[in-house]
Amino acid sequence: MAGLIPKSFIHDLLDRADIVEVVDSRVPLKKAGKNHQACCPFHNEKTPSFTVSADKQFYHCFGCGEHGNAIDFLINYDGLSFPDAVEELAAMLGLEVPREASENPQKDAQKRQQAESDYEVMQQATRFFQHQLKHHARAGEVIDYLKGRGLNGETVKQFQIGYAPSEWDALKQTFARNPQTTQQLLDLKLLNRSDNGRVYDFFRDRVMFPIHDRRGRVIGFGGRILEGDGPKYLNSPETRVFHKGSELYGFYQVRQAHRQPDVIVIVEGYMDVVALAQHGINYAVASLGTATTTEQLQRLFRTTHQVVCCYDGDRAGRDAAWRALENALPLLKDGLDLRFLFLPEGEDPDSIVQAEGAKGFEARLQQAQPFTEYFFEHLQQGIDVKGDAGRSQLLQRAKPLIERIASDFYRDTLMERLAEKLRREKSQLQTHFQRPQQSRYQPEQIQMTPMRRAIALLVQFPQLGQQLPLNAELKRLGMPGIEVFLTLHQQTHEQAFTTAQLLETWRESAHYKHLQKLASWQHAMDEETAQQELNDIIVFLIDKYVEQRADELLEKEKSQELSKAERKEYQLLIQHLRQKKT
């Protein structure tokens, strides 16, 4: 999105947002004194070391060192860019994000208008397909088809299901009014161009399933054929608004239905998701015509602790399941649960739920295979583990996969089962395996000089800035950090800040990361003690400035005569220093 976001808006956004609610919407928190705690979502741990402060509107992990405000959390947890994190936080609060003009406002405006126009065109196409489902000459046949699949009008409306007409240019005739709109429709893959230059509708005679992003905007389509030749499903190719490796069909609807779902089921087809929702199983998503990617799995594991991959029992389904397992291995932390459910050949979730109902399908989910079982079931295919050659082959297959797992529990579990199958002791296998390189966080030992203490206290207790007078003359003090301290004091003296808001004003500064570390400095001071400490440091800085100024005048006197005003100033400075010593 083009155009800078006004700093004043970011300040107000952080003022309205509660970091406890933001974090708790993704990671369940527990009250711990004044703060809230959880096991850190950014590294694998068993004892909570992730702390969220409502007073400071700041989070910090003592295990891995991650820290920041609500925007930082969304950047790190949801994998968003800074502008997208601001957009996400604003959307959570029901706010629109304003934009400032930049150095090239015309180009920025064009980009912004292009993005807005793209999403609007995708929404118009959705409404077009919905309209055709009601009014096209074949509408009755298509509706009968959907009813035959067990769908009612409410479900069709919820998922915005429509119909792409069988004509070659129905959508083109409706929307391609000029060369510019035609090109936009081509870019968004709503139209296609043949080798001889003919332009025609990309989707024809198909039931249309709009794909939504996490904000509910339509970004692509999946089309299911009704009859005739062609692929069963046709998906939107990659476009500037649609990246299928990072999106999941039905994910938006799942999040609308559940704040924190206990489980999410991955299925293969759009109709599977819709049919399950029709029967009240509204926690299913589908990967978009590809194997479930690491990015998709990461999003799911950030939403729920249990993911069940439900695939057809045929070769293609089992291949897709294994690719999903391989992609999940680096993500499996302690507390996360990955399971696999293989349906009888020729069946899919749609047919099972139609035949057995929601209870029958959910009973099957309860019998889903833990990934630790499926892991060896797959690896042992074609291997005779009764002989040494087969055992050696199993070790060779399992070793690189087990080494990719971050979870101590799952890695140890797989090692134990592998040892059983190889008829070895677990300790005998340890020499064959490399443990994953987990970086141990060592808090940087910062020497807390008086200046750093003063800066840290202002960052952690911004309200103190309004209670202490400004000392503009200190800007001439030749001490590292004085400019940062005086700027912070000026900011906090003139305006009320939380720690999060204050740090946000320094995000583009070279001092930002250092200030974040000082915001996490541990001490046992309450606000009253911190105020006295800060006051004492300011007195110390004033004394240092007095010494510096006296030395400057004394040095000047060696080369030239001081003015009358300078001599008087020097006498006052010396008098001040003598009084300090008595």
- Between CA 498 and CA 521 the distance in angstroms is 16
Question: What element of type H or E holds 218?
Answer: strand 218-225
Q: What pLDDT digit, counting tens, does each position of 245-259 carry?
A: 889 999 999 988 987
- Between CA 189 and CA 236 the distance in angstroms is 6
Confidence of residue 581 (pLDDT cuts 50, 70, 90): low
54 C-beta neighbours (distance < 10 Å), count:
15
Q: Are strands 199-201 and 191-193 parallel, antiparallel or unpaired?
A: antiparallel
Q: What pLDDT digit, counting tens, does each position of 525-543 carry?
A: 888 888 888 888 888 888 8
Bridge partners of 212, per DSSP, are 218
At 258 the pLDDT is: 87
Q: Closest by alpha carbon to 60, among 441, 389, 432?
A: 441
Report the share of the chain in percent with pLDDT over 70: 94
Q: Closest by alpha carbon to 415, among 479, 358, 466, 372?
A: 372
Phi, psi for 164 (deg, rounded to 5): -90, 120
Q: What pLDDT digit, counting tens, does each position of 11-62 carry?
A: 889 988 899 999 998 888 999 888 999 988 887 777 888 999 988 899 999 8
Q: At what angle do helices 315-328 and 294-301 cross, to 10 degrees?
A: 70
Q: ∠ CA 36-410-65 to the nearest 5 degrees?
A: 35
Q: Closest by alpha carbon to 50, among 461, 520, 458, 379?
A: 520
Q: Are strands 50-53 and 337-343 parallel, antiparallel or unpaired?
A: unpaired
Which string of DSSP letters, residue by residue, matches 310-355?
EEESSHHHHHHHHHHHHHHGGG--TT-EEEEEEEPTT--HHHHHHH
- Between CA 239 and CA 250 the distance in angstroms is 19
Q: What pLDDT digit, counting tens, does each position of 394-415 carry?
A: 888 988 898 888 788 888 899 8
Q: At what angle do helices 179-187 and 105-135 cross, to 10 degrees?
A: 80
Average pLDDT of span 171-193: 94
Beta carbons of 232 and 269 less than 8 angstroms apart: no
Q: What pLDDT digit, counting tens, does each position of 224-241 carry?
A: 998 877 888 899 999 999
Per-residue pLDDT at 205 exceeds 90? yes
Domains within the chain, CATH numbers bracketed: 7-92 (3.90.580.10), 107-242 (3.90.980.10), 251-376 (3.40.1360.10), 380-430 (1.20.50.20), 450-581 (1.10.860.10)
Q: pTM of the prediction?
A: 0.70
Per-residue pLDDT at 1 exceeds 60? no
Report the share of the chain in percent with pLDDT over 90: 43
Average pLDDT, the chain: 87
At 471 the pLDDT is: 86
Question: What does the block give as tokens for 493?
Answer: 């003296």
* Owner of token pair 């800007």: 475
Question: What does the block give as tokens for 517?
Answer: 């570390």
Q: What pLDDT digit, counting tens, does each position of 297-312 carry?
A: 988 988 889 999 999 8
Confidence of residue 3 (pLDDT cuts 50, 70, 90): low
Question: What does the block give as tokens for 169?
Answer: 């240019």
